[in-house]
Amino acid sequence: MSPLLQVILLLLPCLAGARSSHLLEGLRVLKTEFALRLYRSVAAERNGTNFVISPAGVALPLEILQFGAQGNTGRQLTGALGYTVYDPRVRDCLYAAYATLRNSSRGTKMELICTLFVQEGTPLSPCFVEQVSWWANSSLQPADLREPNSTTIQANEGLFRQMTGENPRGPSWELVSSMSAQLALVSTMTFQSTWQRRFSSMDSQPLPFTCAHGLVLQVPMMHQMAEVNYGVFQDAVGHEVGMLELPYLGSMASLFLVLPRHKDAVLGHIEPHLTARVIHLWTSRLKRSRMDVFLPRFRIQNQFNLKSILTFWGVNDVFDPFKANLKGISGQDGFYVSEAIHKAKMEVSEEGTKAAAATALLLLKRSRIPVFKADRPFIFFLREPNTGFIFSIGRVSNPLD
C-alpha cells in the first residue's frame, strides 16, 4: 500500500468527526502528500532538469470532475486526491482556502484558473454548471474539440497578459483532436510578487553554480544579508539539508528552499524521503538567523500532460469513453475527459531594486555570519501561510536553462 493511501485511510475517518481546525490540518497533510507525489512523478520524467508544477493547479480540475463523477470513476479521483468535495466540510474548507488567492495584496498576485472546454452543443446539468462556476476561479467554455483545425485553445489570455506582459493572445494549448472528444481541462497557476525584504540588484554578480552532472556554470547570483528563518535537518537516511524561508510582501506566501548541505550530495537521493510529516516538522522548526543569502535568478515555464501522470496513479476510467462515469455533468453516458493539460511558471529575481549595498564579493571576504548559498541543485516550494497548502513546487538544476 502506498504511503499516500495509508495517509488517506488514516485521515478520512478522522475528518468525519473533526472540528474545522482539525479538518484543515488533515487537508494540509493530504495536500502536501499530493504535492510531493506529484513532484516525484514529474522528477522521474525530467531527470536532472528544471521544472515547476502547481499541485493546486492539478488538484483543481480533479475536484471539479468529482462534482460530476460517480461510481468507480469517483472513487479513483478520490483516491488520487485523498478527499472528496462531496463532504460539505471539506468543500467549505477548500473554498475558503481558494478565496485567499483572490485577496492579492499590493505587490503580490497569485492566480489559479481552471477552464473546462466543453464540446459545443453538449447539454450540461444546471447543478454541475453552478458548482463549477462557484468553485475557485473556474469556468466552462464551449469549444469545437472535434475539428482538427480548431484544436488550439487560447486559454486564460487575460491572466497571462496581466501577469507577464507577454503574447497578448495568451498561451496556446495544443490538444489532440478526436471525433468523440467531449471535455478538455486546462489549469494555470501564476504567481508574481516582491520579496518582503528585496534583494539588491547592485549586489548581484556572476558566481559558480555546479549542475547535477558536475558542470560548473557562471550564473547571475542575487545576494542579501538579512534575518531569515533557517534550519539544518536530516532526512530518514541521514542526508543533511538546509531549509530557508523567504517571505513575500504582505506575507501572502513564502518561498522555501531545500538545499543539500554537502556539495557532493545528490538531490535525487533526498527527494524520495520528503513526506508531509517531514515538511511540516522542518518548516515548524525553522529559527530566526542573520545570514548571507545567495540565490540564483531563475525562470521556469513548462507544460505537462496530466493524463499520463494520472493514468500511472490509477485514474484510468475518467479518460476511457467506455468506462468513464461522469453522469453528474450532463446525465448522459459516454461522457469522458479527452485531455488534461497543466502549465506552470515561476520567476525569481531581485524585482528591479535600486538600493545600494556592499557587494556580495566583499561580503564573502569579510562576513563571519552563516551563509546560505544555493550554488547547486535545490528544491523550492511556494506555500500559503494560512492554510499551509503548497501551491507550486519544483527543482532548479541549471538556472540558465
Alpha helices in 1-120 (DSSP H): 3-17, 20-45, 55-68, 71-81, 88-99
Cα gap 58→73, rounded to integer Å: 17
Question: Does 78 have pLDDT greater than 60?
Answer: yes
Mean pLDDT of 204-233: 90
Percent of the chain with pLDDT over 90: 29
Max intra-chain CA distance, the chain: 71
Q: Is 136 left (phi over 0), alpha (psi -120 to 50) or beta?
A: left
Q: Which helix (H) or strand (E) holds 118?
A: strand 108-119
Report residue 398 as a C-alpha cell.
541549471
311-345 pLDDT, tens digit per residue, is 999 999 988 888 989 889 887 777 778 777 777 87
Mean pLDDT of 158-163: 39
242-287 pLDDT, tens digit per residue, is 999 998 877 778 999 999 998 888 898 899 999 999 999 999 999 9
Cα gap 270→279, rounded to integer Å: 12
CATH number of 201-298+350-396: 2.30.39.10
Least confident of 16-25, 338-347, 353-362: 353-362
For domain 30-194+300-347, the CATH superfamily is Antithrombin, subunit I, domain 2 (3.30.497.10)
Within 10 angstroms of residue 17's Cβ, the number of other Cβ atoms is: 8
Give domain limits for the chain: 30-194+300-347, 201-298+350-396
Within 10 angstroms of residue 218's Cβ, the number of other Cβ atoms is: 11
> Is the Cβ–Cβ distance between 54 and 343 less than 8 Å?
no
pTM over 0.85: no
